[in-house]
Structure 1
């Protein structure tokens, strides 16, 4: 497996500097979260930004995945809005175009996981109206199926992340969505802390159950019932169980540290995280 670091944990650094530091600390991968200050995904020249990023990954011999979790890139006042389940079709298209741009970036010559295939991670977002769960699921599944077709044509896989507080927040709901999308290019991003937050334990059970399409992993510490990404050792995650499960399925993808709220102390946080995880990955 490849130990990486998410650039959302270096929010106050230039992207080129963040990549250099992540590589210097010994990480072999980077999870790029394009944002207003890191390869702005709303900029007209966004696809062309793949070149410098790809060059930097090659220079540092790091593999990559593309994350889509920028908070205010599409709406400066509402976090993570609009979404694929928004009530307004124009808003749905706005999110779909946003995600398509990430797919294009992932397809442009980066050092990927999984034998040269790009990985784009995404989530459902939250509903902002009283639409029924059934209707929301239909909207989301249809949008994910179309995006999966778009990504497959570009040698990119989609890895969907259940997120506490969002429409798809548990593995059971993800299983329902996965069955409805029913596309070979649509798989899973598993956030380790989220499973602890939602009480879906033991973690190894879910790793093994979804090994056929587990394409991306996020890691941090967390406590039951509280969606707060914590430094390793400050929560309740059983990391021995996690890495035993990943090794049991011979997982070859990215395991990326996600500590965006620690950007104020990014370098020290990334160093401490690497030292902690080396006991399991090394």
Structure 2
């Protein structure tokens, strides 16, 4: 397997600086942030995209993932979502995702990660939310097909799809080959799942993995590797034994103030464990 680090911890740096730091820390790849202040697809020019290409080439760094989950350029991590009751507001997320697919294609990357619907509105049922998420993605999928880029839905605590079973139900409901899973081990651990068992359940849908530690009480709080209770060694051993050869991206966005140091410390943890 290959290891990357997510640029969403580097919001106090520009994208080029983040790429250089992640490469210097010893990672194979970087998860690009498709949001301000890095590469925001609706506003990204050809020159912006070329600058990213050149920075990646200069630092011999691959793209591990294109993160199209966070959307602080409009409001925040989760809003606008794919299941906003306000259709105009929901359309902003749909249009953003179309732009993200096109930008990933221009960077010759095969997938983007997206939020799993969003928070279910208080006045709406789960059934309404699932149906609305399906309708939103059906508006996006023609672009995914056109440019050849997959949509990796990422289960997350407190959003529409939290668990591996909920992802499988959704995948069966939408039934489209471009719908895949962005497997976040910490998220699934936070909702009470065993990450190894969850990976085995979802493996046929997984091309990219997020990794962070999680506190002992399983609160959804991205924590430096080795500082929490997630069985990281057991999980990585399982990936290795199953022949997983994709990217494992360390995602520690709460560490913005110490992003460079945090990336280096996470790599040191992986090196000490014999994973790199």
> Please, what TM-score do these two structures have when normalized by structure 2?
0.92
**Where do residues 142-221 of structure 1 align in structure 2 (5 Å cutoff)?**
142-201=135-194, 203-221=195-213
Q: Does 1:281 align with 2:266?
A: no
After TM superposition, give the deviation of residue 259 of structure 1 in Å: 0.7
* Equivalent residue, structure 1, for 2:54: 55
| Runs of 5+ unmatched residues, structure 1 | 113-117
- Residue of structure 1 in register with 2:112 after alignment: 120
The gaps in structure 2 that reach 5 residues or longer are: none
Is the contact between residue 155 and residue 163 of structure 2 (CA under 8 Å) also seen in structure 1? yes
Q: Which residue does the alignment assign to 1:102?
A: 100
Question: Could you tell me how far apart the structure 1 residues matched to 2:179 and 2:77 are?
Answer: 25
1:38 alignment partner in structure 2: 38
CA deviation profile, 1:198-245 (whole Å, cap 9, x unmatched): 1111x1112122221101111110034311000111111111221122
Which whole-Å CA distance do the structure 1 matches of 2:267 and 2:78 have between them? 29
Aligned length: 272
Task: Tell me how far apart the structure 1 counterparts of residues 242 and 83 of structure 2 sit (CA, whole Å).
Answer: 33
1:130 corresponding residue in structure 2: 123
Alpha-carbon shift at residue 79 of structure 1 (Å): 4.8
The secondary structure found in structure 2 opposite 1:98 is helix
SS of 1:222's equivalent in the other structure is coil
- Tell me if structure 1 keeps the 8 A contact 2:225–2:269: yes
Residues 155 and 79 (structure 1), Cα distance of their counterparts in 2 relative to 1, 3 Å cut: closer
Stretch moving more, 253-262 or 57-66: 57-66
> Which sits farther off after the overlay, 34-43 or 226-235?
34-43
Residues 227 and 46 of structure 1: CA distance in aligned 2, closer, same or farther (over 3 Å): farther
| 2:184/2:209 contact within 8 Å kept | yes
State the match for 1:227 in structure 2: 220
| CA positional deviation for 1:105 | 0.9
SS at the partner of 1:232?
coil
TM-score normalized by the length of structure 1 = 0.91
Q: CA deviation at 1:5?
A: 0.7
The structural deviation recorded for 1:46 is 4.5
Matched, 1:252 2:251: no
For 1:121 and 1:225, locate their aligned partners in 2 and report how far apart those are by CA, in whole Å.
Answer: 23
Shift of 1:28: 0.8
Query: What is the root-mean-square deviation in Å for CA atoms of aligned residues?
Result: 1.7
Task: Tell me the secondary structure at the aligned position of residue 180 of structure 1.
Answer: helix
Match of 1:68 in 2: 68
Secondary structure, aligned partner of 1:281: coil
Q: CA deviation at 1:271?
A: 0.4
For 1:40 and 1:211, the matched residues in 2 are separated by 30
